[in-house]
Amino acid sequence: MNKNSSNIMALAPSTSNKRETVCIFGTGDFGRALGHKMIQSGYPVVFGSRSTQTSSLIPKGAEVLSHAEAAQKAAIIIIAIQRQHYNFLTPLAEILHGKVLVDVSNNLKINQYPESNAEYLAQLVPGAKVVKAFNTVSAWALQSGTLDASRQVFVCGDDTEAKQMVMDIVRALGLTPVDQGSLLAAQEIENYPLQLFPMWKFPILLSLGLTTFFFFYCLIRSVIYPYVYENEDFSFFLAISIPNRICPILALILLALVYLPGVLAAIIQLYRGTKYRRFPDWLDKWMLCRKQLGLVALAFASLHVLYTLVIPIRSFVRWRISSRIISQALNNKTEPLNTTNAWLSDSYLALGILGFFLFVLLGITSLPSVSNNVNWREFRFVQSKLGYLTLILCTAHTLVYGGNRFLSPSSYRWYLPNAYMLSLIVPCIVLVVKFVLIFPCLDKPLTRIRQGWERNPQYSE
Amino acid sequence: MNKNSSNIMALAPSTSNKRETVCIFGTGDFGRALGHKMIQSGYPVVFGSRSTQTSSLIPKGAEVLSHAEAAQKAAIIIIAIQRQHYNFLTPLAEILHGKVLVDVSNNLKINQYPESNAEYLAQLVPGAKVVKAFNTVSAWALQSGTLDASRQVFVCGDDTEAKQMVMDIVRALGLTPVDQGSLLAAQEIENYPLQLFPMWKFPILLSLGLTTFFFFYCLIRSVIYPYVYENEDFSFFLAISIPNRICPILALILLALVYLPGVLAAIIQLYRGTKYRRFPDWLDKWMLCRKQLGLVALAFASLHVLYTLVIPIRSFVRWRISSRIISQALNNKTEPLNTTNAWLSDSYLALGILGFFLFVLLGITSLPSVSNNVNWREFRFVQSKLGYLTLILCTAHTLVYGGNRFLSPSSYRWYLPNAYMLSLIVPCIVLVVKFVLIFPCLDKPLTRIRQGWERNPQYSE
Amino acid sequence: MNKNSSNIMALAPSTSNKRETVCIFGTGDFGRALGHKMIQSGYPVVFGSRSTQTSSLIPKGAEVLSHAEAAQKAAIIIIAIQRQHYNFLTPLAEILHGKVLVDVSNNLKINQYPESNAEYLAQLVPGAKVVKAFNTVSAWALQSGTLDASRQVFVCGDDTEAKQMVMDIVRALGLTPVDQGSLLAAQEIENYPLQLFPMWKFPILLSLGLTTFFFFYCLIRSVIYPYVYENEDFSFFLAISIPNRICPILALILLALVYLPGVLAAIIQLYRGTKYRRFPDWLDKWMLCRKQLGLVALAFASLHVLYTLVIPIRSFVRWRISSRIISQALNNKTEPLNTTNAWLSDSYLALGILGFFLFVLLGITSLPSVSNNVNWREFRFVQSKLGYLTLILCTAHTLVYGGNRFLSPSSYRWYLPNAYMLSLIVPCIVLVVKFVLIFPCLDKPLTRIRQGWERNPQYSE
């Protein structure tokens, strides 16, 4: 439903008085925000607090009572206080018996306590039905109504009926409840809002490292070398020329790194003759962040496309072309068309275009809503077949770009080869090994191993 | 599941006769389409109608009876008639007692009646369990099977069991039921299909207004001025040159307008010393359509990129460059490389590329399926940190583009500055104020206020 | 939730022993993988097998018993064996009475058996509650934890409680259960993992056919003709020039083919005077794959944009431009600016840019997550109004590109017109017929027909 739906609802007259009373323990920022939103949605709200003085901050229409009195008025009690203070609930155990306790708390660090706050709460008040919910929503978002981020509220709990009651409230507030199962899931739900792109850390750090390396490499070859030997100032290469050398190199290397672990896994399985032994840890982790590696590679490829397409607008390029034309005109000579050059230039560009096009297709299919509409067979077809085709096209693009420069001595400045040559190492290895693995003498045993066959069953644990 | 799934199902033999009979009141277009689809999915269908003559239009296999007779045959009755005729149900109240009545009606205007049709129905037949559903699906889509738009059917009702029965039917028809809670949500559900991008109205009107203004502004400066003073016909600037001036201006202004309300809100909160007083209405509304403003800005930025990249293909540009080269060749002089110009041109382009790249990233994270997979902390990081970086890059791009032209008198035609100078006003204000707000002397109290602290608690309402 | 969530959960200590025992019949690859995952998630697992010897492959912590013994230990029994062996369950009917049997099987071909495996299972063991689930997940994905494709598990069954129990397990394993209704849906669920983009077959085959035709057409006109008559080697046109002629042609034709069936349907309805007779089968199928046709057209349009933007970087183009400039310089003449050419070139580019921009917008709104957030009215507005605008802009782009070349005899080589002229046929027909259909004398009866009115009610079946 539309983003503004919750607002419309909030403005609608809440004529119905069928909603059940909800009790909120704690009058802090989050408790008040939640209470405010609930009153808007037609719920009678009663706050439980140490001091029963109605503060000016308490949302209008809410009652403030002592904890015990408030708890008695409602079947659902939202515990909007911090974990450290949970033990004040122990004396209330009798009153809380059979009630639904909603744990909305968050921690400051991932896995801060051995057990989740919700499980701790369930241990403190064994007679109550504890449900974890609302911890992914911020007080600010509740109050302002600008719920642009995820509207998902993860809910878990051992009592199905209690969970259902909480999920009904979530829905009434204009949010989307997502049932995560039993209270065991609480730890995960509590860690969730503390994460900052955990799967992206390795790909981003890796690409930062590679970027730094290739930046200085290109700086030495393209700016410092001509400055030292020819006394020419090409410092403006820093803005476009050098980034446009780094981006395609990183795109190609990262794309190859997406397919390298699959190839390594195949070799390991062939060597071991079984699929039932775990891969080394680093390989497991590497395989899990392949999607992110691929998307970072796509980002570099997109930048490379943009940097390349602005080439003819660059002042330096215009100057170089026009001075070449003028010198030809002044020398009164016309170069004939070099068909080989035309072929090289055109096929290099065409390979790049097709490679980038397939790369973008891969990126689109990795959008959650697209990959959710695709079955396993289709996903494998796209990510494996189309993925390898992309890698082949991009490697060929780089090879043709090199063209006849590979062996030219002018490409080696201070014995350093052109940077793009370095970028070809990993993709070529991946493609060669993959090509070898396709041969029936290796493909057949591999397929059998992946279907569960074992070479030496006695050795498996 | 795949789009064609409902068709496959329709073709499958409906051997099972376990489905419960469904009664449909009303033999209009929608009632028949729904009946047709239900028979395909294996439901026995009986129509209730004033005239019990079986018309040729009634789907094959359906019975037509009087209202009373039809109602007795089924536990679920779909009311496929218009609200104005609902009162014929009053005499049937006894037969309808305990039955599930499904209100599928829509209105012609938003909030046409004080209460929703479903609530009105519930008042008319108090003994029945009213469920709102199916109003977002069109008769045409049901009949043709081309359910390309949303397959979501919003369902609401006060009786959980009745709602569950209706949701099971929805699922059986190949649609996705979305539980919206109690019957209170019916008003919103009835308004939903009448909306036409309500959140987009303001951003689109604003950008249309700004586009018109800058169009005439550029027309005067770039076409009329040279025609009047130099008698040159640059009317073809209308096709690309002027749009390519308007697009970046609008992209920059709209992007700045995305971040302006946040800055204003911070100032208001600092001035008031509390976060517990509502913002003025215009600010609230502005904050709610920031996402749409940003996406319109992204659209203008994308057009700017396309317009810029075709520059070297333009016939006019090719003519200008070649005539400049020819005149140099004829005058037998070669310009040396101007390193400052190369720096300016390259860094201007590089800033634009990076700004656009980040802008597209922001756009991708605002896709519903992506933002749903992102927690609040990650969303804030992307939309706030990356967003400001985008604004800084785009503003710098425009400033460097201006370069040394700011003070050149030739930039002022009829005392009108270049249009891009006007576009810098809002983003510069936003960036300066934001920079000031980062200072600890302002940032600390602001953070405390946003955590609930108040400077003068007695003044708050 | 994040992709790695299931891993976190797997690593978390499964302290709770509240989970109910699950029994798995069959110790094959899939049964073991599922058992492994369940043990990780805290379920006690017992395998039922013919030989009760504990193999080294059985996940640690699982018991292996005879079928009868294993079945008695659990309320849920997962049947991880192939359909051909289901009849061994008949003697166990008594023990299985009242148990939940989960059918996880897949077939090798679509619609391989008259009834689905799950329905067959339900017939064999009438006393059990059969639920279909897990067939869309692969053993490999379960074991490796790389669930990058859809995490959706389609669940169907006639017993609501049994279905709920299975959906709870699905959730506990970190997957998303999707309730598909009664056991009737099993056939569809079993066919799902066997599909390979069924809706894309026709659009892709059609575009392959058209591509081949236009490839040879352009090859004859652009490479063979100049080679025969002028002995010039333009073979390098194969890389970019010819693809850049084929792509826009296919984009335009396919886009027109998206709107042609709608126009045909209107003509048929007007001719028949009713909407209640089925369209011919080919038209129905055509209408169902319009989205895919449009997306393939968008792919060709994107390639056209990329091919066009690299034009100024091509070695051949640089050579052609510089040799033209040099010859002008040597002949000492300067061409004046041709305003007509400037207008034609700029408006041709501008129309293309706007058309492509709208085309991308259409593509974005067809993303599942976006179209799910859009109501029927908004979807029709975008796909119909914006769609026709796109078609008009792209057709105009092609017409202006042709410009004054239409009648020039040099455009006809071997009496073959330029390929782009052929591409204009279908879009022009669609636009003309659509324009005629807008006239009130045709639009009014059409609207009435679509609302259910019939010209000759007696003729309808």
Handedness of CA A279, A284, A290, A296 (dihedral sign): negative
Long-range contacts of A265-272 (CB under 8 A, 24+ apart): A266/A437, A266/A446, A267/A433, A267/A437, A269/A446, A269/A449, A269/A450, A270/A442, A270/A445, A270/A446, A270/A449, A272/A455
Instruction: Please report the beta strands in B111-217, taking only residues with DSSP state E, as ranges in sequence order.
Output: 129-132, 152-157, 176-179
For residue A148, the model assigns a pLDDT of 54
Q: Which of A215-229, B377-391, B395-409, C353-367 has the lowest mean pLDDT?
A: B395-409
Q: Name the closest residue on chain A to residue C178, using Cα atoms.
A: A372
Contact assignment for A148 to B379 by CB distance below 8 Å: yes
| Model confidence band, residue A10 (pLDDT cutoffs 50, 70, 90) | very low
Q: For chains B and C, count residue pairs whose Cβ atoms are closer than 8 Å.
A: 192
B56-96 pLDDT, tens digit each: 678 888 888 888 889 998 999 999 988 888 988 888 888 99
Q: Name the closest residue on chain A to residue C326, using Cα atoms.
A: A329
CA distance linking residue A254 with residue B141, whole number of Å = 45
Q: Name the closest residue on chain C to residue A456, using Cα atoms.
A: C56
What's this model's pTM, rounded to 2 decimal places? 0.86
Instruction: Please report the beta strands in A120-235, taking only residues with DSSP state E, as ranges in sequence order.
Output: 129-132, 152-157, 176-179
What's chain C's Rg over C-alpha atoms? 31
Per the prediction, chain B carries an average pLDDT of 85
Give me the amino acid identity at A111.
N
Chain A residues near residue C315 by CB distance under 8 angstroms:
338, 341-342, 344-346
Question: CA torsion angle for C382, C383, C389, C391 (degrees, to 10)?
Answer: 160
Q: Which of B340-344, B366-370, C425-429 has the lowest mean pLDDT?
A: B366-370
What tokens were used for C7?
A: 């891993």
Selecting from B329, B353, B457 the residue whose C-beta is nearest the C-beta of A326 gives B329
C203-261 pLDDT, tens digit each: 999 999 999 999 999 999 889 988 998 888 888 999 999 999 999 999 999 999 999 99
Q: Using CB atoms within 10 Å of the CB of residue A433, give its burial: 0 to 12 exposed, 13 to 18 middle, 19+ buried.
A: middle
Selecting from A149, A193, A316 the residue whose C-beta is nearest the C-beta of B371 gives A149
Contact assignment for A314 to B346 by CB distance below 8 Å: yes
- 8 Å CB contact between C247 and C303: yes
* Residues whose CB is less than 8 angstroms from the CB of residue A168 and which lie 6 or more positions away in sequence, other chains included: B181
Q: What share of chain B is helix, strand, coil (3-state, %, to 5)?
A: 65, 10, 30
Contact assignment for C240 to A346 by CB distance below 8 Å: yes
Highest mean pLDDT among A197-206, A241-250, B224-233, C139-148: A241-250
Chains that touch C (3 or more CB pairs under 8 A): A, B
For residue A205, the model assigns a pLDDT of 95
A 10 A CB-CB count for A323 gives: 16
| Model confidence band, residue B149 (pLDDT cutoffs 50, 70, 90) | low
- 8 Å CB contact between C125 and C96: yes
Selecting from C180, C287, C461 the residue whose C-beta is nearest the C-beta of B56 gives C461
Question: CA torsion angle for A262, A265, A270, A276 (degrees, to 10)?
Answer: -130
CA B422 to chain centre: 28
Chain B residues near residue A42 by CB distance under 8 angstroms:
184
Interface test with C, best of B306, B331, B372, B379 (most C CBs within 10 A): B306
What tokens were used for A237?
A: 């290469």
Contact assignment for A357 to C302 by CB distance below 8 Å: yes
A165-188 pLDDT, tens digit each: 898 888 878 788 888 878 888 988
Q: Is the pLDDT of residue C87 over 50?
A: yes
Q: Name the closest residue on chain B to residue A57, using Cα atoms.
A: B276
Q: Name the closest residue on chain C to residue A459, using Cα atoms.
A: C56
Contact assignment for A369 to C369 by CB distance below 8 Å: yes
Measure in Å the smallest separation between the Cα of C192 and chain A Cα atoms: 7
Buried b (16+ CB within 10 A) or exposed e, C274-292: bbbeebeeebbebbbbbbb
Q: Which of B303, B299, B296, B261 is nearest to B280 (CA)?
A: B261
Interface test with C, best of A184, A365, A374, A381 (most C CBs within 10 A): A184
- 8 Å CB contact between C378 and B150: no
Angle between helix axes B243-272 and B387-402 (nearest 10 degrees) is: 130
- 8 Å CB contact between A43 and A66: no
C409-442 pLDDT, tens digit each: 666 777 788 888 899 999 999 999 999 999 999 9
Q: Which of A430-434, B29-33, B359-363 has the lowest mean pLDDT?
A: B29-33
Q: Is the pLDDT of residue B170 over 70?
A: yes
Give the helix ranges, DSSP H, for A219-278: 225-230, 243-272
Chain B residues near residue C452 by CB distance under 8 angstroms:
28-29, 57
Q: Is the pLDDT of residue C17 over 80?
A: no
A80-99 pLDDT, tens digit each: 988 888 988 888 888 999 99
Q: Which of A243, A247, A360, A245 is nearest to A294 (CA)?
A: A360
Contact assignment for C346 to B309 by CB distance below 8 Å: no
CA distance linking residue A339 with residue B423, whole number of Å = 47
For residue A149, the model assigns a pLDDT of 55
Measure in Å the smallest separation between the Cα of C341 and chain B Cα atoms: 7
CA distance linking residue B162 with residue B128, whole number of Å = 10
Q: Is the pLDDT of residue A6 over 50?
A: no
Contact assignment for B329 to C332 by CB distance below 8 Å: no
Q: Which of A63-77, A380-394, B353-367, C143-157 has the lowest mean pLDDT?
A: C143-157
Handedness of CA C336, C340, C346, C348 (dihedral sign): negative
Q: Which of A180, B336, B252 is nearest to C12 (CA)?
A: A180
Q: Using CB atoms within 10 Å of the CB of residue C357, give its burial: 0 to 12 exposed, 13 to 18 middle, 19+ buried.
A: middle
Percent of chain A whose predicted confidence (pLDDT) is above 70: 91
| Mean pLDDT, range A345-350, rounded to an integer | 92
Q: Is the pLDDT of residue C66 over 80?
A: yes
Measure in Å the smallest separation between the Cα of B407 and chain C Cα atoms: 30
| Mean pLDDT, range A392-417, rounded to an integer | 81
Q: Which of A78-87, A271-280, C91-100 has the lowest mean pLDDT?
A: A271-280
Measure in Å the smallest separation between the Cα of B143 and chain A Cα atoms: 23
Domain ranges in chain A?
Answer: 22-194, 200-451
Higher local confidence (pLDDT), A407 or A319: A319
Chain C residues near residue B316 by CB distance under 8 angstroms:
337, 342, 345-346
| Model confidence band, residue C460 (pLDDT cutoffs 50, 70, 90) | very low
**What is the SS3 assignment for B456?**
coil
CA distance linking residue C307 with residue A346, whole number of Å = 10
What tokens were used for C207?
A: 């575009």
Higher local confidence (pLDDT), B60 or B299: B299
- 8 Å CB contact between A263 and A439: no
Helices (H) and strands (E) in chain B, counts: 21, 8
Q: How far is CA C257 from CA A129, C289, C331, C366, C421, in A?
A: 59, 10, 50, 17, 16
Percent of chain A whose predicted confidence (pLDDT) is above 90: 39
Q: Using CB atoms within 10 Å of the CB of residue A250, give its burial: 0 to 12 exposed, 13 to 18 middle, 19+ buried.
A: buried
Q: Which of B130, B81, B116 is nearest to B194 (CA)?
A: B116
Interface test with B, best of C293, C376, C451 (most B CBs within 10 A): C376
Per the prediction, chain C carries an average pLDDT of 85
| Mean pLDDT, range B146-155, rounded to an integer | 71
For residue B461, the model assigns a pLDDT of 38
Chains that touch A (3 or more CB pairs under 8 A): B, C
The strand pair at C152-157 and C129-132 is best described as antiparallel
Question: ipTM score of the complex?
Answer: 0.84
Chain B residues near residue A145 by CB distance under 8 angstroms:
288
For residue B150, the model assigns a pLDDT of 66
Angle between helix axes B201-219 and B290-309 (nearest 10 degrees) is: 40
Assign residue A12 a region (left: φ > 0; alpha: ψ between -120 and 50; beta: otherwise).
Answer: beta
* Residues whose CB is less than 8 angstroms from the CB of residue A348 and which lie 6 or more positions away in sequence, other chains included: A397, A400, A401, A403
Q: How far is CA A272 from CA A276, A283, C191, C201, in A?
A: 9, 15, 35, 40
B175-212 pLDDT, tens digit each: 888 888 788 889 888 988 888 888 899 999 999 999 99
Selecting from C349, C381, C450 the residue whose C-beta is nearest the C-beta of B310 gives C349
Q: Which of A405-419, B148-162, C77-91 has the lowest mean pLDDT?
A: A405-419
| Model confidence band, residue C148 (pLDDT cutoffs 50, 70, 90) | low
CA distance linking residue B418 with residue A209, whole number of Å = 42
Higher local confidence (pLDDT), C174 or B303: B303
The H or E element containing residue B395 is: helix B387-402
What tokens were used for A125?
A: 């008040």
For residue B18, the model assigns a pLDDT of 59
C113-125 pLDDT, tens digit each: 888 999 999 999 9
- 8 Å CB contact between A222 and A234: yes
CA distance linking residue C398 with residue C396, whole number of Å = 5
Q: Which of A66-75, A169-178, C81-90, C187-196 has the lowest mean pLDDT?
A: A169-178
Q: Which of C6, C14, C7 is nearest to C61 (CA)?
A: C14
Give me the amino acid identity at C384.
S
Give me the amino acid identity at C258.
V
| Mean pLDDT, range C372-383, rounded to an integer | 84
Per the prediction, chain A carries an average pLDDT of 85
Interface test with B, best of C325, C386, C451 (most B CBs within 10 A): C325
Give the helix ranges, DSSP H, for C313-338: 315-330
CA distance linking residue A175 with residue C125, whole number of Å = 42
Q: Name the closest residue on chain A to residue C168, using Cα atoms.
A: A181
Chains that touch B (3 or more CB pairs under 8 A): A, C
Q: How far is CA A106 from CA A103, A190, A265, B177, C93, in A?
A: 9, 6, 39, 32, 50
For residue C383, the model assigns a pLDDT of 85
| Mean pLDDT, range B31-59, rounded to an integer | 82
Fold of the A22-194 domain: Rossmann fold (3.40.50)
Angle between helix axes A315-330 and C315-330 (nearest 10 degrees) is: 50
The H or E element containing residue A351 is: helix A339-365
